[in-house]
Amino acid sequence: MRNISKIYSLKIRILLPLAIVFSFITAIILSSIVYHINKDFDESVSVHTREIQSFYKNALDSRKTKLATGLKVVLHKKDLISSFKNKHREELSRLSRSLFEELKSDLSITHLYFHNKDRRNFLRVHQSDRYGDLINRKSLRDAQKYQKLSSGVELGLLGTYSLRVVEPVVIDDELIGYVELSEQVDDIIGQVKKLFNVDSVMLVGKAGMSKDDWGKGTLSSARLWNWDYLTNHLVVASTLKDIPDEIKELIVHEVIHDGRFEIEVGDSTYLAWDINIDEFGHNSIERHFEYLTILDITSQISENKTSLLLMMSSTAVLFSLLFVLFYKITDSTDITLERYQSRVKYQQRSLQKLVDEKTINLEMAENIAHLGSWNLNFDTNKLIWSDETYNIFGINPDKEISLDDFVGGLHPEDKDSVLSAWSAAIRGEPYEIDHRIVANGETKWVHEKAIIKFDRDNKPLVAFGIVYDISSRKEVEDKLRKALIEAEQARDAAEVATQAKSVFLANMSHELRTPMHGILSFAELGLSKADENSDKKTHKYFNNIEKSGQRLLKLLNNLLDISKLESGRMEFVFDSTELINVIEQVVTDLDAVLNKKSIHIDISEVCRQQIVYIDSDKILQVLHNLLSNSIKFSPENSVVSIHCESASLASSDDKNTIEAIAITVSDEGLGIPEDEIDLVFNKFIQSNVTRQISGGTGLGLAICKEIVIGHGGTLTIRNNVSKGVSVTMTLPVK
């Protein structure tokens, strides 16, 4: 029978957290949707705000241009301006009346003023019986202050906003007054309604306004909103005939400028917010101006609610299906777990039996390998040794061991180093050390290694270690060390002997060259005398002497070069050199033997373009040797090629590469046996094939390799695929 409590516990542990996670995910999804809805509303407010502000600016700029044009028309009427200058009010009124009606019809102006230069009104064309009052409007003050055209949107005493454009009237550099045209701009609010499908309410604070003047303005303009329509504000213009009470509340409490508000009016929802119209609000008396924008978002709210409801339903259905699925899975898993529990119990018994067997085998292995183990509990300071560890330290296994017993068994000369290593291990460093112990009066070498487990605060908890006897290995190491010392001494002695040999050969070669030059000089003299006397027999003798002397001199030169190289006395003189010059010099030197065997030299184009930093004489010697060898072992009418290509060499620290040039001399000769190709650079070594043909001492290639190494390069040789040999000299370019 299944254990009900276990099943319940399993489902609680899995399904309850799963339900919490699903709820959390649902909350995140819904929050994200709401966030994006609010973000969309904010963006809608920002877009409408920018568009309305831009529309007002463009509309007012257009009307300013129109009014400025009207002013130009007025100022071009000389008789009218003359009447203004001479202060003939009745004549000015008569002359300007028809012009006013014309401008009113063509440009939709509503007011035409003439002001004295002290800002007192001289004539209101639209209201000629009212004059003499001081005009304190900002547009007129700016025109007086800056003496140039000025404009602004200003609230009149009757509660209407007008765009006013004022220009100074100057005749013969004399200011005689100001002309002003104005146009009511309350109608722009209706244009905003048509273009952007939003309602607007233009408000102004009651402070500084006259109730009587407002009443007059209400009668003259058929305004729908009287003085008492709102508590602290007056409605200057609105696309709403009746402002909803919910919006009135926002206006009354003066919170509309604090952000955007969603307002429920009947079955409709509106979004209301305040817009700053920079061109409005300027007047002689500071008044609180508000431009309230109202957007109907009923359909958008309905769409958002539908989307949100659909998302919630979809999420609920999905999570319900997942919950049922996980319930089925946990139910099936519980049955499976019960089966595995039985198997685990069986396996535990089997494993325990196996562990017991392995323990016995481990003890036997330790005895055979002389490998002991131990562990230390730092909390209880209890040390446990295996039987083999007791055996290594020469202590009775029946004795309970302690750290003091371990320290007491250390060799006196190694005690400090072992304790220092152990202290470092407690601080987290590895513990692995060879040291000596004294067991039953006998000195032994042992190797110890341990791992220490630490808690989160780096406090040591337990240590596991091994120890094994390495006395036999140490004995072998001592013998090997002594043999290495003896070998090093023998090597040093051999190096000294080799150095002495090199010095001796260098000195002897130098000393032998002087008499050899004398012999060659006398041989050349004898050859010339024999030629004069036509003594063929004597000529033959001297010719043999001269050839033998040249071979002996070449041998002495080779011995001298190899001795200098081995003793480190060879000097190199490096300079930037065109490689082709060196190659052509060698070819010129060997021209006679090339012509004799009809051998053609093929030089690659890269060789002709390369500049190298070398000792020209030394590299010429190397190329002379390589090319003369190729010519010597090549058949007649064959080709010897000199090929160059870019290459690289390892730097002295083997971490980088340096730019190099590889120069390869290839021939079509006999080649070298593969088992001898690695020996040709050794001193006094020649291939069996070449020795039979050329003889020689076997020093040429050895000297070449030492010279190339002195340049920091390499010299290699290989057999070609078809026939012949290729020797490659790789040199640093710089």
Let me know if 475 is exposed, middle or buried by CB neighbors in 10 A (0-12, 13-18, 19+): exposed
Give the residue from 288, 291, 167, 283 showing the smallest Cα distance to 239: 291
Class of domain 370-466 (CATH, top level): alpha beta
Over residues 165-224, the pLDDT tens digits come to 999 999 988 999 999 999 988 888 888 889 888 888 888 888 778 888 888 777 777 777
In this prediction, residue 495 carries a pLDDT of 63
Give the residue from 627, 639, 646 showing the smallest Cα distance to 700: 627
Over residues 567-579, the pLDDT tens digits come to 555 678 888 899 9
**Distance (Å, rounded) from C-alpha 392 to C-alpha 469?**
7
Contact (CB, 8 A) for 654 and 646: no
Torsions phi, psi for 676 (to 5 deg): -115, -5
**pLDDT, average across residues 330-345:** 72
7 falls in which pLDDT band (50, 70, 90)?
very low
**Distance (Å, rounded) from C-alpha 622 to C-alpha 104?**
110
What CATH topology corresponds to 571-732?
Answer: Heat Shock Protein 90 (3.30.565)
Residue 564: is its pLDDT beyond 60? no
Considering only residues 690 and 239, tell me which one the structure prediction assigns the higher pLDDT: 239
Q: Which of 114-123, 399-408, 439-448 has the highest mean pLDDT?
A: 114-123
Q: Which amino acid is located at 371 in the chain?
A: L
Q: Which amino acid is located at 147 in the chain?
A: Q
In this prediction, residue 285 carries a pLDDT of 40
In this prediction, residue 82 carries a pLDDT of 92
Could you say which architecture CATH assigns to the domain 77-184?
2-Layer Sandwich (3.30)
**pLDDT, average across residues 639-666:** 87
pTM over 0.95: no
Considering only residues 459 and 36, tell me which one the structure prediction assigns the higher pLDDT: 459
Which string of DSSP letters, residue by residue, matches 460-512? Answer: EEEEEEEEEE-HHHHHHHHHHHHHHHHHHHHHHHHHHHHHHHHHHHHHHHHHH
Cβ neighbours of residue 392 under 8 Å, at least 6 residues apart?
A: 370, 372, 437, 439, 444, 446, 467, 468, 469
Residue 34: is its pLDDT beyond 80? no
